[in-house]
A and B are shown apart, each in its own frame.
Chain A
Amino acid sequence: MADETQTTDTAVPAEIPKHEQLVDERLVAWYFLAALLYMFISLSGGFLMAFQLIKHNPLNGIELFSPGRWRMVHTNAIAYGFLANAFLGMLHWVVPRLTLRPVFDRRLSLAIFVAWQGVVVATAVGLLLGEAQGLEWGETPVWIDPVAQLGLLLVAINFMAPIMKQKGPMYVTLWYFVAAFIWTFLTYAMGNFVPQYFVSGSSAGAVGGLFIHDLVGLFVTPLGWGMMYYFVPILLKKPIWSHGLSLVGFWGLAFFYPLQGIHHFLYTPIPMFLQYGAVMSTIAVELVVMTVVINFFGTLWGNGRQFWDNMPIRWFYTGMVYYFLTCLQCSLQVTMTFQALIHFTDWVVGHAHLVMFGVFSMWLLGVMTYLFPRLLRQEWYSQTLCEWHYWLSAGGMLVMASDLILGGLFQGWSWAALQPWDASVEISQPFWAVRVVAGLAILGGQLAFVYNLYRTWQLSKASLTSLGGSSEPPSVDRKYAD
């Protein structure tokens, strides 16, 4: 199975459209650049919060930039600024190439791009002005929610149009993407409208729990895995190990993920059978994750060297290892015994960072590492900077997650021993200091990436100029594709 490369029984049309007719490369690049901008805003928010915890808040006493508000900017900027923009850029590349049809309307794509940046900026401004909605990750001010909801509908229409015209069996990536478009729309509506206008008290809490986790599992996860099922085979130049197994993973996610969010509210007044249901479905999802991870490592089997030689593959598989660890961690930490120790501690913060940066951001940075040279028709200015980007990001993430997870255990033990709250804050100081250092490493990695991108863009511009303004330089970077 691992060496399966025959293509004789494929159903590819004899003539296919040109790449230029399918993909709006300019828009892909804009989305990626917007994503990187918001990543720096998110990192800034994270640093301010980190400095606050070690008692060195540089903006102390300024209400507009109070830590609570910056923290919300930090989480929202990474979800709706970085991840959403980067995913939208990726979708504009992947969906047309997979379906051999352009998106529904390129003008709509452009309108969505502009509108989405407006939504993200308005969210940040609203949060800083104290307009937050009282829901983790759903803090977007209420007056933005309808606009964001409409935007998600338009995104679904724009990408579903080419997918729905597909004939015959669909590739697993498209299954994941279709689900993501539907789920994201429904999840956003559930989290932002149901607790705000329809239910209250513990019912609203339960819906809030579902929203927090479904945003990870039903928006980010299907887009992330769909993306991996597309890029990994292309970069390894071999099909995924088992397409059937990949569909088991997809349907497993579809049926077991939606209920698990309530595990965020264990030991609350929410009925215990619902809490146990969430625990069980979380453990079931871990088994589903196993099938996905086995499938990808089965694909890599025999090509292990690619992990070191092919930078995007290294990003992807590092993210997969982190993903497996986070899911394993998740299936343990949702048990009632474990939860009693780690609830409200930095263990959860470490876990969240491992998921959002260690997995999905790393995958997206890997995709950017692969696609920017193709978009700019220019190899990376410096491979060394690419290496720095990877090692500072992956290493910084490992240190940050380990540090926060360990610190969380100490906090939990301190509370379990009925120590005063202040004692747990004091024992946390070394862990929070290490977190700042790890964050600096991650920031350094991203700065290396952006500098490398800037120099690569300059090279690309010079190359185009030397060709007399031709839109097509003489060679396309094939380093990672071949």
Chain B
Amino acid sequence: MLIVTAVLAVLILVPSGVGFVNKLFEFYGVIKGEASGAFAFTPLVNYLLASLGFLCLMLWAIGQGMFHDIERPKRTMLETERMLDEQRTSEVNS
């Protein structure tokens, strides 16, 4: 499962990321070379601010160990749901 996840992550994120970074470099080139480059600054700043926030969030999550035992939450979720429902059903039936 980890291999599938890693392969998909590499296949999807790397080419997309490379293309995207390439476009950011082009943007920098336009800003430097053309007077109209600043024209597109507002939407780009919006994007960069949002992405920076999520980059920080991802780094924080990694630091907090959020991605250790990565499959555990899916089982925890089902278990708590089962307990909540069992508790409720037994109360209702009694």
Interface residues of A (CB under 8 A from B): 1, 4, 6-7, 9-12, 16, 18-20, 22, 97-98, 100, 168-173, 179, 182-183, 186, 190, 194, 199, 202-203, 206-207, 209-210, 230, 233-234, 237-240, 242-245, 247-248, 251-252, 254-256, 258-259, 262, 270-271, 273-274, 276-277, 280-281, 284, 287-288, 290-291, 377, 472-476, 478, 481
> What are 30 residue pairs bridging A and B, where the CB atoms are less than 8 Å apart in the complex?
A4-B75, A12-B76, A19-B85, A97-B80, A168-B65, A171-B73, A202-B39, A203-B39, A206-B42, A206-B43, A207-B46, A210-B46, A239-B71, A239-B75, A243-B74, A244-B1, A244-B5, A244-B71, A245-B4, A248-B5, A248-B8, A252-B16, A254-B51, A255-B54, A262-B43, A273-B26, A280-B23, A284-B20, A474-B93, A481-B85
User: A251-B58, A274-B40, A288-B12 given as contacts; is B74 within 8 A of A171 (CB)?
Assistant: yes
When distances are taken between beta carbons in the complex, the residues of chain A under 8 Å from B79 are 7, 10, 12
* Contact A230/B87 with A242-B71, A262-B43 known, Cβ cut-off 8 Å: no
Within 8 A of A (CB), among B19-50: 19-20, 23, 26-27, 30, 36-37, 39-44, 46-47, 50
Chain A nearest Cβ from B45, distance in angstroms:
10
* Distance to closest chain A CB from B75 (angstroms): 5
Q: Which residue of B lies closest to A285 (CB)?
A: B16
| Among A243, A245, A277, A481, contact of B8 (Cβ-Cβ < 8 Å) | A245
Rounded to whole angstroms, the CA-CA distance of A98 and B20 in the bound complex is 35
Question: How far, in Å, is A185 (CB) from chain B's closest CB?
Answer: 11
- Complex interface bits, B6-18 against A, C-beta within 8 A gives 1, otherwise 0: 0011011100110
Which residues of B have CB within 8 Å of A242? Answer: 1, 4-5, 71
CB-CB < 8 A to B36: which residues of A? 271
Q: Are A243 and B12 in contact (CB under 8 A)?
A: no
C-alpha gap A281/B20 in the complex (Å): 7
Residue of A nearest to B42 (CB): A203
Give the total number of A-B pairs whose CB atoms are below 8 A apart: 193
Partner of A476, one of B30, B65, B78, B89: B89
Residues of chain B touching chain A, judged by Cβ–Cβ distance below 8 Å, are 1-2, 4-5, 8-9, 11-13, 16-17, 19-20, 23, 26-27, 30, 36-37, 39-44, 46-47, 50-51, 53-54, 58, 65-81, 83-85, 87-89, 91-93
A229, chain B: closest CB distance, angstroms = 9
Q: How far is the CA of A16 from the CA of B77 in the complex (A)?
A: 13
Cα distance, A290 to B16, chains bound together (Å):
14
Contact of B92 among A194, A277, A476 (CB under 8 A): A476
